[in-house]
Every structure is written in C-alpha cells, then in structure tokens.
Structure 1
C-alpha cells in the first residue's frame, strides 16, 4: 500500500471520529429546542456536552489539516468549489462555541434565549450541511481539466446531496437523543428515550434510501458490506433504546455513524473528488497527493501525536462520565 493510500485511510478515520463525537453533540444542540421544556432542562442538555464539545472539534481540525498537507489539490478544489457552504459551517461552529460560553454570562432572559437559539440553529445547519457536502464529494461534481470546480452553488443542491443532508441531520439527532438518555436522570431521560425511538425510525428510513442510492451509483462489495452493517446497527440501536438498554443503543448508533462514513469513503476510493464532466479529470489519491517525502514526515508525526490525543480525550470522557439532571442545576440558571 502506497503512503497516499495510507493517508486516505487516516483521513477517513479522522472524519469518522469527528462524526461519531461531534455528531451526538450536534444532536444535543438540536434537542435543546425539540426536547427541553424550559431553561433548566436546556441547561442540563448543554451540560452533558459542556466538558467535551470543544475537544470533539479537534477531530475536524485534524481532518482538515491532514487533507491540506496530504492532498493539497483535493483541499484546494474542495474549499474553492464548496466555499459558501463550508464558510457557513465555519461561522456556525464559531457562533456555537461563543454561545456555549456566553449564554450564562448575563441573567437577562432575552440574552439567554438568543444564545439558546444560536446553539440550536448552529447545531442543526452543520449537521445538515456536512451530509450535503459529503454527498457531493461521493456523487461527483463538475471538475474541469485544470482541477477547478466548474459548477455553481445550485449544482451542489442535487437530490442525492440533499438526501445525504437529511440522513446526517436525522442520524446525528438520534445519536444525540441516545446520548442524552445515557447521560441524564429523571423525566428528561424518559422523554429522550421516547423521542429517540421516533428519530431512529426516521433516520433508518432515510439511511436505507441514501445507502441504496449510493450503492447503486458507485458501490462495490466492500461498501455493500459496510452499508449492511450501518442498516443493521441502526435497527439494533432503535431496538435497544426501546428496551431501555441505553449503553447498547449508544454503541450501536455510534457503529451506524462509523459504518455510514466508511461506506462513503469506500465508495469514493480511489477518487477523492470524482468529476462528472470527464472521469479522466477526477482527483484521485495519486494525482492529488503531496510528495512521498512529505507523506513520510506526516506519518511519523501522526504516529507520535495521535495516540496522545486519543488517550487524553478518553480520559476526559471518563472523568465526566456521571449522569446529571435538573436537580444538579442551580436555581440562578
């Protein structure tokens, strides 16, 4: 296996980790309006991800940085062609982080309500837009001979890409509801499980359509296997949730996110951005990669730094593993 193939796999792993971790905190952000009945319950939801949400975003920074260094042509074409959607995602992530920090800085109801709306919308929009972006990457876009995106913004809103956005939005919200049930006590835990059942059924219906379309379009035996795992894991997550097995439900919902992401990357390989204008103009792991020396240096750096980051983040989740409820929220909040 060539080093550029190795780095394609490593980038897939980074995106998988990002969607697994940031997926449930996007879902919790959406649930601040769908599940929480008052400000105290919204505070409970925010506190479930408060210690970890910023650490989850490290995976996005790592994935973006790795793409820039290992596949500069892929990075350049992607960020120039998808400039407005990716800029909107970036703005949402910035506003969302500010909202988490500033919401409780002042006691006025209007102040806190506005930041709570920011948390909701800045969780919902990235959860949807990431699916649209990856739908376009896998399905292919108009890339010319010069490796430049030749389409328009409206070309990115194809039915396949929009369906991908609905899949990630529903799947992340279900993932967040299961996480909420796992991390809370009391009435909010019961309602999270009830809502998770509905969200899981919606996500399953959408995912079956999206994965079937993906398989028919560009799939092979490997992507068929991971797509089957995704569908079975999502059905198992819903079943475990109905039975009140929250730990198993979260494990299966996480496996679903992993399997869906694996399906997309297996379908994509060896391309990194297929061209719908001419297959010969597609960006591949070989023609879009950096030099072998650059990839070799990156491999050594990643081998040293990545285990440290994973161990530290795992320790963080262990420290903040206990459940919380409205009784843990001070009256002033």
Structure 2
C-alpha cells in the first residue's frame, strides 16, 4: 500500500474515532435539558448526573480532533489549506462552540447559583448542537463537491454548503449523535435518569433510521463505489439493531450498535471521497486527489514511524480510562449543593 493511501486511511480513522467518541459527548450535551425536566425537585441533580457520564472522557475525546487536524496538515497540506480556507466560517463556529462548551462544563459547578448553572447549561447545549449539525453539513458538502478552481481555491462554498444533500447530512449527524448520547446515558446511569434516557433513545431510534438511511442511500447511489456498499449495509444493520435493542431496553447492545453505525457512516463518507480528497464541482480535473494533495514521501515516512509508536500508547491509555470509569452513576451519587436556596453572587 502506498503511503498516501495509508495516510488517507489513517486520517479517516482519526475522524472516525472522533465522531464515535465525541459523538456521544455531543449527544449528552444536546439532551441535557430534556432529561432533567420531569422533576423540579431534583432537576439540577439529574442534569449533573447526566453531565458526569462524560466527565472523565470528553476532553480526551476531543484530542482525536486535534490529532486529525495535525495529521491532515502534515500529511495533506493542500487538502488542509483548501478545506480550512473554504470552510473557515463553519469551522470557526465549531471552534467557538467547542470553547463555550468546554468552559461551561469546567465552570458549571464553580459557583453555587441557579442562574449561573442555567447559563452554563445553555453553553453546553448550544456548544453541542452546533458542531453536531455543522460537521455533517461540512462533510456532506465536501463529498458532493465544492467549487474548486484550477488554483486549488474554493470560489464559492455556500451553494454547496446549504444544498439539500448537505442540510440532510447535518440533520443526520445531529440525530445520530443524539441517539448515541441517549444510549450512552442509559448505559452509564441508573434510576430515573436511565429511564428518561431509554425513553428518549426509543423515540429517536426509528427517526434516525429513516433520516440516516435516506442520507446513506443518497450518498451511496450518488457518490459511492462498490466498496462503500459494505459500509452502507453495516450502517443500516447497526441502526436496525439499535431500534430493536432500545425497544428491549438492552442499552449495552444498543450502544455497540450506535458505535458501529457512526463508524460505518464515517467510513462511507471517506470511502465516497477516495481517490479524491476534495472533488471539484466545476471541473473534475481540478479536484484535489490523494496523490496530488499529499506531502513528500520522506515526510510521510517520518509521520508513519511517529504514528506507529504514539498511536498504540494513546489508545491503550484511553481504553484504560474507560475501564476505570465504567460504573453506573445515579442521582444518589450526586451531593447536594452547598446552599439550600439560590445563592447570590455579590
């Protein structure tokens, strides 16, 4: 296998890891206001329980995105330059949303004030919904082709970004991440929070099956190849199993199914790109290809040795983290706030 193809696969794997792991983080944040609204007496505890399910993981999961961006810059500089220059505004919005989300998660419990926590909850929710939608729209726009000229510059991106296919891509990723998060909450919690999460997942699963199934078939028929039929089939089976397992309240198997579904959907998008990395809708000859956008063979060789050494270490460490924090969380594990009533900041 040529190094350029190998690094295309590795970058696809990094984004796959990011969407699979950060996907349920987004889902947890997206669902926070819905899972904590039934009981007013312990609504804050329920939200804290929900948020604590991703407490040990969310910042580590974001490392996959940082690594993917760095690898993209080093291995395919032309791909990196064209993508980030053409989609600078939606990518900037994702960055701002991730910053707000991180700050809100870290500082939510620093002040014992109802209004403070409510504002932080808004930051978490908005900071989860925006990336969940925009990532799908960006990747759908890239797969369908953007207006790239002979100088490898994107002339106009908005017509492609707001096309029906791209909008459906954004809705699809939002639904998949929300479902992934609901199943994860059900897997990691007990009591009334788990019951809410199971109900939410049961309602979301059939909707996600229809919407994501439509997007997957559109992708396959319009941009896919014989190879990507495999990923389309795996994603379809994963969603079908999710519908069945959520109905049976088997959240462990349902989480494996959503995990596989998100991974297969990501593989479908990258598989539909290859051998291009950014197809041109103006002229196929102006498309950025794996070979044309790659770094020198020496650079790729050095990167390969570095990845061979560092990647297993990072994956083993992250796997160990998930094993250590595998226990379920309930409302009873959450201590009361310091103040019995709302405290006011002076």
TM class by smaller structure? over 0.9
Report the CA distance between 1:224 and its aligned residue: 1.3
Which residue of structure 2 aligns with residue 34 of structure 1?
A: 34
Q: 1:133 aligns with which of 128, 131, 138?
A: 138
Report the CA distance between 1:196 and its aligned residue: 0.2
SS at match of 1:321: coil
SS at match of 1:104: coil
TM-score between the two structures when normalised by the length of structure 2:
0.95
TM-score between the two structures when normalised by the length of structure 1:
0.99
C-alpha contact (below 8 Å) 2:73/2:80 kept by paired residues: yes
Report the CA distance between 1:242 and its aligned residue: 1.2
- Residue 281 (structure 1) aligned with residue 283 (structure 2): no
Distance 1:207 1:99 in 2: 30
Report the CA distance between 1:246 and its aligned residue: 1.2
Distance 2:205 2:241 in 1: 10
Q: Structure 2 unaligned segments of length 5 or more: list them.
A: 38-42, 339-346
Which residue of structure 2 aligns with residue 80 of structure 1?
A: 85
Distance 1:123 1:12 in 2: 22
SS at match of 1:107: coil
Distance 1:174 1:67 in 2: 29
Q: Structure 1 unaligned segments of length 5 or more: list them.
A: none
Which residue of structure 1 aligns with residue 238 of structure 2?
A: 233
Distance 2:160 2:166 in 1: 10
Report the CA distance between 1:240 and its aligned residue: 1.0
- Residue 23 (structure 1) aligned with residue 33 (structure 2): no
How does 1:139-150 map onto structure 2 within 5 Å? 139-150=144-155
C-alpha contact (below 8 Å) 2:35/2:196 kept by paired residues: yes
Distance 2:212 2:105 in 1: 30
Q: Deviations over 1:211-265 (max 9, x none)?
A: 1111121111111121011011111012112112111110011000011011111
Which residue of structure 1 aligns with residue 196 of structure 2?
A: 191
Query: Which shifted more, 8-17 or 236-245?
Result: 236-245
Q: 2:61 aligns with which of 47, 52, 56?
A: 56
Which residue of structure 1 aligns with residue 299 of structure 2?
A: 294
Distance 1:33 1:244 in 2: 22
Distance 1:128 1:199 in 2: 16
Distance 1:113 1:294 in 2: 48
Distance 1:306 1:299 in 2: 10
Q: Deviations over 1:281-330 (max 9, x none)?
A: 00010000000000000000000000000000001111111000111111
Distance 1:266 1:127 in 2: 21
Moved over 4 A (4+): none
Distance 1:327 1:314 in 2: 27
**Coordinate RMSD, CA, aligned:** 0.9
Distance 1:42 1:68 in 2: 38
Query: Which shifted more, 221-230 or 18-27?
Result: 221-230
Which residue of structure 2 aligns with residue 103 of structure 1?
A: 108
Report the CA distance between 1:208 and its aligned residue: 1.2
